[in-house]
Amino acid sequence: MDRWTRLGVLVLVLTAIGAAKGNLKTVSDEKYKPGQVWSYKTRTDEQGSTLTILRVEEGVDKKRIVHIRVDRIHLRNCRGGPEPESFEHMPFSREALDLSTIKTVSIGPVPDFKNGYTEWRSAWDAGQAGYYTITVAEAIEVAQKNFSHGLGCSE
């Protein structure tokens, strides 16, 4: 797992709710379909950012988890090194995604998300992972703060 995927997992742990409660199954959703690319309410400097629907799952509690990829973000590196431009996998509650999305801008193939999803799913099955219940922009802002903190930067 690369450094940026680990960062995404760290952010997930910091902002996720509760532990896993039962098994998940892949389901069809009337709004979110794998391969859809959506515009969303971005951070101020990332208006070109989009999110792609990867998978929709449902728990025994009937809560929907929508797995997404986020592209064209910009996590600032105070040390002048690499700056992440995407998150390959981020799980969100359907409700949080509803508060974030604006409109579908295209439909295409589902990008590979096996590595991030597999790691998340293992943690979920072990009761050690959850999903975001905040907006996508808020989750990326949390990622920025954790990324900066991990580099020893002050905001």
Question: Is the pTM higher than 0.75?
Answer: yes
Q: Cα separation of 74 and 46, whole Å? A: 7
Higher-pLDDT residue of 42 and 82 is: 42
pLDDT of residue 108: 96
Higher-pLDDT residue of 60 and 153 is: 60
Higher-pLDDT residue of 77 and 46 is: 46
Higher-pLDDT residue of 79 and 21 is: 79
pLDDT of 54 over the 50 cut: yes
pLDDT of residue 155: 54
pLDDT of residue 136: 97
Q: Residue 152: which pLDDT band, with cuts at 50, 70 and 90?
A: low
Digit-coded pLDDT (tens) for 6-35? 445 544 444 444 444 458 999 999 999 999
Residue 101: strand pairing partners: 40
Q: Cα separation of 154 and 149, whole Å? A: 7
Q: Specify the 3-state DSSP secondary structure of 56.
A: strand
CB burial string 6-41: b at 16+ within 10 A, e below: ebbbebbeebbeeebeeebeeeebeebebebbbbbe
Phi and psi based region of residue 96 (left: phi greater than 0; alpha: psi -120 to 50; beta: remaining): alpha
Higher-pLDDT residue of 142 and 12 is: 142
* Residue (of 38, 72, 73, 74) closest to 53 by Cα position: 38
Chain center to CA of 98: 14
Mean pLDDT of 131-136: 96
